[in-house]
């Protein structure tokens, strides 16, 4: 049975529960954070890094950039200057998984980061596809995820174009798909359907 486009998108961005090449289920550990003085501690940073099979420095740099703060790794923990909410870390980890781990073609996590003529690429060892890592033009919006509801109208910025030709935007933990747009364009859309953390939209003219 051939999977529909929506089913493939849901696997890529929402399921995050695919079998790896070893047959094990891929489940990202739930983030566990607590406040320690004027800092926020991600106590299971090491577990998350191990599950994603990425370099600790790469994930840490990504997190610091999204939170706009300084910090350091401390054994299996990561310590961030300032007080942050659990929801912020959850959205950031999901954004990292979508951008740097999950293959957008087959939806599997059996990938690795490689350099191709100075361009960082995501190479899937399951299906063989390769795509460039596109840097976002802004931080993940960790405060507006609740604004993504069916029937809601909002303005979004197009970060990239999917292989199917749809524009890709990010709002909080959600990936929004918009047809007939270009990278960098800001458009007003109506949310027509939500599937997991993937939202399908209609452009408002």
Task: Say if residue 144's pLDDT is above 70.
Answer: no
Domain pair 5-132 / 145-203, same fold:
no
Residue range 26-49, pLDDT digits in tens: 788 999 999 999 999 999 999 999
Token pair 């910025």: residue: 157
Domain boundaries, the chain: 5-132, 145-203
Q: Residue written as tokens 């909080």?
A: 172
Evaluate whether the domain defined by 5-132 bears CATH number 3.40.50.720. Answer: no
Q: What is the DSSP letter of 70?
A: -
Task: List the one residue out of 143, 38, 31 whose CA is nearest residue 86.
Answer: 31
**Residue 9's pLDDT is what?**
47
Tell me the mean pLDDT in the region 178-195.
89
Q: Indicate the CATH number for domain 145-203.
A: 2.40.50.140
Angle at 93 between CA 133 and CA 83, to 5 degrees: 125
Arithmetic mean of pLDDT, 158-180? 84
10 pLDDT exceeds 80? Answer: no
β-partners of residue 188 are 155
pTM as predicted? 0.60
More confident residue, 4 or 69: 69
Q: What is the mean pLDDT of residues 123-149?
A: 72
Which residues are 25's β-sheet partners?
Answer: 19
Does position 133 have pLDDT exceeding 60, yes or no? yes
- What letters, b where the CB count within 10 A reaches 16 and e where it falls short, cover 137-156? eeebbbeebeebeeeeebeb
- pLDDT tens-digit readout, 48-70: 999 999 999 999 999 998 888 89
Select from 35, 113, 46, 47 the least CA-distant residue to 73: 46
């Amino acid at each position: 049975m051939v999977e529909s486009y929506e089913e493939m998108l849901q696997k890529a961005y929402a399921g995050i529960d695919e079998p790896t090449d070893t047959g094990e289920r891929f489940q990202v550990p739930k983030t566990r954070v607590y406040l320690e003085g004027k800092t926020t501690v991600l106590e299971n940073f090491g577990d998350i890094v191990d599950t994603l099979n990425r370099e600790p420095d790469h994930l840490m740099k990504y997190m610091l950039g999204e939170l706009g703060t300084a910090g350091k790794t401390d054994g299996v923990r990561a310590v961030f200057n300032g007080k942050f909410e659990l929801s912020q870390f959850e959205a950031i980890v999901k954004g990292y998984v979508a951008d740097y781990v999950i293959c957008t073609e087959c939806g599997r996590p059996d990938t690795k980061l490689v350099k191709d003529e100075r361009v960082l690429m995501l190479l899937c060892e399951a299906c063989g596809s390769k795509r460039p890592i596109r840097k976002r033009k802004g931080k993940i919006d960790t405060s507006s995820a609740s604004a993504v509801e069916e029937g809601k109208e909002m303005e979004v910025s197009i970060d990239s174009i999917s292989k199917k030709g749809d524009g890709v935007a990010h709002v909080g933990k959600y990936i929004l798909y918009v047809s007939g747009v270009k990278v960098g364009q800001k458009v007003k859309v109506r949310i027509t359907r939500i599937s997991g953390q993937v939202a399908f939209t209609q452009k408002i003219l």
